[in-house]
A and B are shown apart, each in its own frame.
Chain A
Amino acid sequence: MHRRLFMILLVLAFVVVACGDDAATTTTAAPTTTVAPTTTTAGEEVTLRWRTRPDNDQEAGVYRAVSETLDGQLEGITLVYEPGGTETEGYQQALLTQLAGGTAPDVFWIPGADIAQFVGARVILDLRSYADASGHRDADFYPGPMEQLTTDPATGLPGNVLWGLPRDVSAFALYLNLDLIAEAGAADPRQLAAAGDWDWEAFQQVAEAVRALGPDIYGYGQSSWWGPVGFWANSGGGGFFNEDRTACGLDSPGSLAGLAFVQDFYATGAALTYGEDPEPVFKAGNMGMFQNGRWATPGIRTVGFDWDVVKLPDGPGGPSNWLFWGAYVVNANTPYPEQAWRLVQALTTAEVQAQVAELGANIPSRVSQAALDAFLTFTPPENNQAFLDGLAENPVTEAPLWNGDWPAYRDAMQVAVDAVIRGETSIEAFRADICAQLNQYFTP
């Protein structure tokens, strides 16, 4: 009998202790339905949970440090940072499950291309009224992301709404193995870019010269997701969509020119086989040019050869790049929307963005000169300006389809484009079918 009583007391003690800890860390219950904002009295401390997607443990550590700093700075707010997994560790899947279960954090990060999905599902809050009251200016951030973050889902056009603020931005560049390029006797792409001669032709010449160094040496490598492929279409003067993003644009002459170039280029054998992971090959010193975003910089900093970056080559459509981004948004179910907005603002100040960008993986999303100047000091690479050029020269903003199903479009497009680059589908056959196939993913 005593033993049973002891066990019961033990279980009850655990239950009670669990409450004690929860009281110290959490005050936001897990609502299953939309709740009215909670009015807090002066001096009342509220606890906010927030999460972002770091690319690695080091970055997760920086966000934890940011959270601790802001915890001391934000009056009346206690912060609980919940590190999210990386992209491959199912960040979005975990977030989706938590949203469905009503246990998502008060503030969380989402990729730019997912914004329409979250707005459509009404799981994130329109922050416009809080922003207006706090003196926020949309113009302080890159216009591309802000256009998406102020889009009214009813019209698909910018309106008087605000869904969040961009955490950071990124763009592609070509990571260069300067040792290989010098050994091949090819022109330095950075000098070509400075002289305005860095175009597709020059790019191909450098790649082929490096490839000629040996059977295991490759001139160029890119990952096979929609970003690198999209660059060639954009750079050719086309793109994934038509002008107002209401229909497929892959059969446009510009898109086809880009795809034709990349198909021919791969056929020369100068590039690493499409679909192979280029990063280990580049880091092993066997690749001349590796196309990737700023997020690859921390990993590249560990290589043992002389390297730098250069902007992507100009195509017939002129200079082009992507503007990748993600945003901090506020859970529609948070009981403390005003405090959550203050947290979003605090997480996107120039100071915090500089703190994160110093790691090398991100570019501040603020367009202030101070933020950009600070970014340029985060070397290597020496030529950080290449990323800023990518963001300044006609970039295409990563964006959702407000009137369509981007994930379905993306996956179907990927298979078709891959077949073109591998040479399994001719450009003509691609042109004939692609848009009829993809237009089904737009909402009439």
Chain B
Amino acid sequence: MTQAPIELEVKLPSAPSPSQPLWLLAVVVWQTVLALAMVAAAVAMVTGALFDLTGLGLVLMAGLALAIAVASGTAVPLMLRHRHSGRAIGVMLDYLVLVLAVFITLQAIGVFRGLDALGATFRRAVPLLAIVILGWLLLGQAERFGSRAERVRRAGKWVMIAGAAAVAVRAGVLPGLAEFFVRLAKPRALLPALVAVASGLAFWSLRRSRAVWLFGSRRHQEEALDGFLFVSPNLLGFAAFFAFPLLFSLFVAFTAWDGLTQITWLGPDNFTKIFSLQFATVDAGQSASDVLKFGYSELARFGSLIVGARDPAFWIALRNISLFAITAVPLAVIPAIGLAALLNTKIPGVRLFRAIYFIPSVAGVLGVALIWKQLYNASVGFINYGLRRLFDLINLLPGVEATAPQPQWLSSRSVALWSIVIFFAWYTVGFNTVLFLAGMQGIPGTLYEAAEIDGASPWQKFRKITVPMLRPTTFFVVATTTILALQVFTEPFILMGPQLPPSGPSNATLTPVVHLYQEGFRRFNQGYASALAWVLFLLIFAITLVYFRRQRKSEAGMG
């Protein structure tokens, strides 16, 4: 049952007052100045007088300036009429301008780069933290001193304050303060600082209770405004560090850009290149280049039919990742169910085994991959050494003379991908086991008891109770493992390098993420790499969607 919101009616002046309060006039003047300044800034950017911007940078920066100008200009008449909408626009705008101006000021002062080095400076002051801790202890233990508790508490507080001051001074707060003001006095820092102060004052004025009264804001409007402001840190973070990069990468996917020079708009060319294929027949004595168009390379050959692609690496990566996912996902999931079933029993030492199986997931993939690289070395690696010793033992049997296989784990194009599969499955199975174990422990024991009364064998209980009841867990495990498998990168990157490129022998371990890494960071094709990233995203999205639909159908079937 929900309660209807209580609406408090406040005085709603419908027409402009003959005399506006001074603070409102100041806010209106500020909003007007802001609007005009932003228009001027946009014009200056377009004419090249302000910043040296072109292309997307110009559109974004000039667009931002114009958007602020329009918003601020719109707010002014509404404010003069005491409309809540004017106040709401003003509050949001001044808040955003305040955040932006503070950020620019700090950047201009050099605080962010200073923060990088803060560790070194702060280290000097660490011993003095003992004084702060002493004060904190006095404060916390004051009650033990009976009638003198208040004096001890006060003493503790002052010891803490003195300690904090000593820490600050030792860490360099005094020269820092001097430097702060010196840098603040420079125009590139002072101007945004003044903007921050002005927008901060305007924001504060518009948030005060007399502004609420003057603009006739209702409670739900006020609550909405509060709500936006409370979630704003998260929203701003999401916009700056997730939404913007995501949209920017989508834009970059339609361009040619090396990350350093000017962005050139290409339209869908990158995507066309990814999917371009050519089929041709080749006669005896002809080579692929005789029949393929310029820019196409041979991808595959079926008798006299030749398949060319503008980016054969993409198709090879697609083939590799398909094979990889089809084999690695079952290997990482099915043994995990079995292991979880074993670890769900009450055999001695089971807790130790749970920890042991989980260790690979806790260890960093990079470090573990380096160890596997040594293990996989065909000549001096432990795996082939173990095989040799094993076959030595087998050959001790009468009449047996077998040769130990010595796979070229990383250098053979027919084996390299499976080496990655084994490593991936080994690395992932522990985490999946823990998930399944949690799922199993959530299955009601009464189901097993009932089955036992009915005479079910352990296998029947596993097949008829455990597996069906684990369906939601299985769905989650399969979906996440598939996504991990489709994004595999670190494993081939570390296992193959540096004596081989991460694409492995004859591109045997080339995966889509390896391909986009090579395009983006080795060949400096950020635009094409972004296009590959979006294609990979759509692929993963489509597969996940299929999983979800099947899961829903399955649940509906069960229901």
Contact = CB atoms under 8 A, between A and B. Distances in A.
Is the A/B pair a real complex? yes
Given A21-B176, A25-B117, A422-B505, A216 B258 contact: no
Contacts of B260: 96, 99-100, 121, 123
B32 interface: no
Contacts of B297: 412, 437
Interface string B92-120: 00000000000000111111011101101
Contacts of A440: 294-295
A433 B287 contact: yes
Given A25-B117, A275-B505, A18 B111 contact: yes
Interface in A65-98: 87-88, 90, 92-93, 96-97
Given A33-B51, A275-B499, A429-B287, 17 more contacts: A17-B172, A18-B176, A29-B110, A33-B52, A120-B261, A224-B505, A275-B411, A276-B499, A277-B377, A278-B499, A280-B377, A284-B380, A411-B503, A414-B501, A432-B287, A433-B288, A437-B289
B500 interface: yes
A277 B51 CA distance: 51
Interface string A186-225: 0000000000000000000000000000001010000111
Interface bin, chain B: 35 or more
A26 interface: yes
Nearest to A436: B289
A213 to B, nearest CB: 14
Contacts of A385: none
8 contacts: A23-B175, A26-B117, A88-B498, A275-B408, A280-B380, A286-B379, A407-B524, A433-B289
A13 B167 CA distance: 10
Q: Could you tell me the dominant secondary structure of chain A's interface residues?
A: helix
Contacts of A422: 413, 505-506
A117 interface: yes
B533 interface: no
A286 B377 CA distance: 13
B115 A225 contact: no
Contact of B499 (A99, A103, A117, A224): A224
A22 B175 CA distance: 11
A90 B490 CA distance: 13
A303 interface: no
A117 B497 contact: no
B27 interface: no
Nearest to B118: A18
A227 B413 CA distance: 21
A411 B522 contact: yes
Interface of A: 10, 13-26, 29-30, 33-34, 87-88, 90, 92-93, 96-97, 99-100, 103, 117, 120-123, 216, 218, 223-225, 272-281, 284, 286, 405, 407-408, 411-412, 414-415, 418-419, 422, 424, 429, 432-433, 436-437, 440
A268 to B, nearest CB: 17
Given A15-B106, A411-B518, A21 B117 contact: yes
B118 A17 contact: yes
B298 interface: yes
Nearest to B157: A2
Nearest to A275: B411
Q: Which 3 A-B pairs have the closest CB atoms?
A: A20-B176, A275-B411, A436-B289
Contacts of B521: 90, 92-93, 96
Contacts of B380: 280-281, 284, 286
Interface stretch (B16-24, B177-185, B191-199): B177-185
A241 B378 CA distance: 34
Given A123-B260, A273-B411, A34 B378 contact: no
A415 B506 contact: yes
A405 B176 contact: no
B160 to A, nearest CB: 9
Contacts of A15: 106, 111, 180
Nearest to B57: A32
A26 B110 contact: yes
B499 A277 contact: yes
Contacts of A411: 501, 503, 518, 522-523
B168 A273 contact: no
B169 to A, nearest CB: 10
A36 to B, nearest CB: 12
A432 B113 CA distance: 55
Contacts of B410: 275-277
B480 to A, nearest CB: 27
Interface in B506-539: 506-507, 518, 521-524
Given A17-B171, A25-B117, A122-B261, A418 B505 contact: yes
Contact of A19 (B120, B179, B378, B412): B179
